[in-house]
Structure 1
Amino acid sequence: MTDTILLRDDRDGIATLTLNTPGSLNALSDAMLAALKGTFAALAEDRSVRVVILKGAGKAFCAGHDLKEMQAGRQAADKGRAYFADLFARCAEVMQMIPALPQPVIAEVHGIATAAGCQLVASCDMAVAAEGTRFGVNGVNIGLFCSTPMVALTRNVPRKVAFEMLTTGQFIDAARAAEVGLVNHVVSHDALAAETRALAETVAGKLTAAVKIGKRAFYDQIEMTRAEAYDHAAAVMVENMLWRDTEEGISAFLEKRKPDWS
């Protein structure tokens, strides 16, 4: 089932993952969360992959949690309390695996990204969206405040923008998403795959070890005070500067040639 609902295609150091349940708008079902968790765990150990692209099949990126499964969970004696607690814990684990991956993860977004689907975009390191894509944390429209998607959203967009989205349930378009920092680039639908691939190839062409250490430091320093962040970042740069490949990269730049990285 994992191979069916989540496709993986590796080419030239770039792994493309496709959420592949278009009939449910690629909802984050129990099976999809399990597939993502297993694939992310495998990618964390895969040194051949330098960048990850995450996309959705069909007419949407991801519509969030599977509401039919959630309603079915209510049939338990506790009215679903244990199931819901487990579901949101599993989803949070998957979302947190993305920034923890050594490889940068780029969301390739089209159609809609709603609720936990918007959370998935916000959890990725970068995002490219097609014109016309709509983003929302719209659970409030059905009486469910998007509290867990809020965690990732508020770490991407300004506070007041996030609060308005969460309390009104209104969608923002791709242009507004770029304006507030939820996505990096907005392109035509026809150019979406090519532009996302081009961004991935640019990152994949850098020294992999430097991107890896930099990504880890990026997320570590965000949680620190300014003084702690500077101390931590300085220590990371010292370690980075002592690498043979960094010495070679600087020498190549000064000598106006391509670096011979190992």
Structure 2
Amino acid sequence: MNTEKTDLLAQSDHGAVRRITLTDVRRRNALSESMISALTTALEAAAEDSAIRVVVLAADGPAFSAGHDLKEISGHRGDADGGQAYFEQLMAACSALMQTIVRLPKPMIAEVRGVATAAGCQLVASCDLAVAGEGARFCTPGVNIGLFCSTPMVALSRNVSRKHAMEMLLTGDLVPAARAAEIGLVNRVVAEGDLEVETMRLAERIASKSQRTLKIGKEAFYRQVELPLSDAYDYAAAVMTANLMDADACEGISAFLEKRAPTWER
């Protein structure tokens, strides 16, 4: 098992699954400028590693992520422009990170222990799947400090219904893990002691699939969901036709018909 660790991130490979763990416990794993950069770099490396099929995002400490580092933000109020240029840069970098997750050619699972607030909640919502410990909580509390969670809103509103998203955004209230599962923010809730085991079990199950098929499916999912119904079917039909011509699809169908385990080309 390969392991790397810095003050911000730890990375370890478990077969075809890469675990990336936020380790900036002192700052509650805030999405500081340096954290955003480090996480983006780590995901880009995972995307290029042909041995990795699934990425799990976890965190050390009592907070999965407390969102943006408000002390870091406030420190730029004294800039000549009141911080505007820095704020624009920070929001652009954070938005790019979330889109990197969506465009990652490998499924990404959030393993959530503790609280995920504001951009930390956005991080969870941006992942393809999420498994939460029973004590996890989620919120978009910007409204409480005069800063509406507008960028977290983008990911949140694409995961839960409009009314549930608006309730979180307008009240800033903490949502317990069980409720987060009810509204679709997370896939499942498990006992705290079982969180890593259950998340890795899910990751390893997905990692057993064809890497090429996972890439095709994830990309197609996010593209079609933004299209009108007729366009979505046209696009999906073209994707499925191309997928049928792929060697792994030929192998998978043959294996199914022959009642044997498939051997994926990639």
Question: TM-score normalized by structure 1?
Answer: 0.98
Report sequence identity in percent: 56
Q: 1:169 aligns with which of 162, 168, 172?
A: 172
1:139-198 alpha-carbon deviations (Å, 9 max, x no partner): 111111101100000000110111111111111110110000000010000000000000
Indicate if the aligned counterparts of 2:212 and 2:248 stay in contact, CA closer than 8 A.
no
Query: CA–CA distance in 1 between the matches of 2:129 and 2:148?
Result: 25
How far apart are residue 48 of structure 1 and its match?
Answer: 1.0
Is 1:191 the equivalent of 2:189? no
Task: Report the equivalent of 1:145.
Answer: 148
How far apart are residue 90 of structure 1 and its match?
Answer: 0.6
Task: Report the equivalent of 1:102.
Answer: 105
How far apart are residue 260 of structure 1 and its match?
Answer: 2.6
Runs of 4+ off more than 3 Å: none
Query: CA–CA distance in 2 between the matches of 1:261 and 1:169?
Result: 46
Is 1:204 the equivalent of 2:203? no
How far apart are residue 4 of structure 1 and its match?
Answer: 2.6
User: What residue identity is the alignment partner of 1:248?
Assistant: E
Query: CA–CA distance in 2 between the matches of 1:164 and 1:58?
Result: 28
Query: CA–CA distance in 1 between the matches of 2:260 and 2:107?
Result: 26
In the TM superposition, 1:106-145 aligns within 5 A as 106-145=109-148
Query: CA–CA distance in 1 between the matches of 2:231 and 2:135?
Result: 41
Q: 2:232 aligns with which of 226, 229, 232?
A: 229
Task: Name structure 1 gaps, 5 residues minimum.
Answer: none
Query: CA–CA distance in 2 between the matches of 1:138 and 1:243?
Result: 46
Query: CA–CA distance in 1 between the matches of 2:68 and 2:247?
Result: 46
1:222-248 alpha-carbon deviations (Å, 9 max, x no partner): 111111110111111111111222112
Question: TM-score normalized by structure 2?
Answer: 0.96
Is 1:219 the equivalent of 2:222? yes
Indicate if the aligned counterparts of 2:213 and 2:248 stay in contact, CA closer than 8 A.
no
Task: Report the equivalent of 2:7.
Answer: 4
Task: Report the equivalent of 2:85.
Answer: 82
Aligned to 2:42, what secondary structure does the other structure show?
helix
Aligned to 1:7, what secondary structure does the other structure show?
strand
Task: Report the equivalent of 2:70.
Answer: 67
Aligned to 1:228, what secondary structure does the other structure show?
helix
1:8-29 alpha-carbon deviations (Å, 9 max, x no partner): 1112011100111111110011
- Could you say what the CA RMSD is over the residues aligned between the two structures, in angstroms? 1.2
User: What residue identity is the alignment partner of 1:29?
Assistant: S
Aligned to 1:4, what secondary structure does the other structure show?
coil
Task: Report the equivalent of 1:30.
Answer: 33
Matched residue pairs, number? 262
How far apart are residue 257 of structure 1 and its match?
Answer: 1.1
Query: CA–CA distance in 2 between the matches of 1:122 and 1:209?
Result: 24
